[in-house]
């Protein structure tokens, strides 16, 4: 008999519920693949747990490398602000939702400092509560 799993989270139910997570990853991969036909990208950027939760499986499914922006390099085993693909020219950001925009700004700022020619072409938000179509003229993929 299968044991019922109890989940504790403030906001990442779609990540911790395994059946739901599988569906979300598959939907996200389809949405990003469709988006890439008109807006090609060569990397997926993310930061933090909520970004990493979707970025890793999407990288695997889409065969697209990752750009990891460290939240606080001083609190990490890494001294780098940016890890991963450093040859990216066009990238998308993957995260759960946009609250204040500070995460999106930080990712853009660090990538601009480290990979000055890379261009943000879209943002994929996997939380369904976000209803906007763009953020500062950057298309939102949902």
- Would you say residue 100 has pLDDT above 90? no
The pLDDT, as a whole number, for residue 122 is 95
The pLDDT, as a whole number, for residue 107 is 95
Query: d(Cα 44, Cα 59) in Å, to the nearest integer?
Result: 7
The domain limits of the chain are: 13-141
Of 25, 34, 88, nearest to 59 (Cα)? Answer: 25
On whether the CB atoms of residues 47 and 83 are closer than 8 A, the answer is no
- Would you say residue 99 has pLDDT above 80? no
- Would you say residue 42 has pLDDT above 80? yes
On whether the CB atoms of residues 125 and 98 are closer than 8 A, the answer is yes
Of 141, 99, 96, 142, nearest to 120 (Cα)? Answer: 141
- Would you say residue 82 has pLDDT above 90? yes
What pTM value is reported for the model?
Answer: 0.87
Choose the CATH number for 13-141 among 3.40.50.2020, 3.40.50.300, 3.30.950.10, 3.30.70.1560. Answer: 3.40.50.2020
């Amino acid at each position: 008999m299968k044991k019922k799993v109890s989940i504790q989270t403030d906001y990442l139910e779609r990540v911790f519920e395994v059946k739901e997570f599988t569906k979300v990853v598959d939907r996200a991969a389809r949405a990003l693949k469709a988006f890439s036909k008109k807006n090609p990208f060569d990397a997926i950027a993310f930061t933090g747990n909520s970004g990493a939760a979707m970025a890793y499986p999407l990288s695997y499914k889409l065969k697209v490398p990752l750009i990891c922006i460290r939240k606080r390099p001083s609190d990490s085993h890494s001294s780098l602000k940016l890890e991963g693909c450093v040859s990216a020219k066009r990238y998308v950001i993957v995260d759960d939702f946009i609250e204040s925009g500070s995460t999106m700004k930080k990712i853009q700022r660090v990538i601009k400092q480290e990979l000055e020619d890379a261009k943000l072409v879209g943002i994929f938000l996997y939380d369904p509560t976000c209803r906007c179509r763009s953020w500062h003229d950057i298309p939102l993929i949902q």
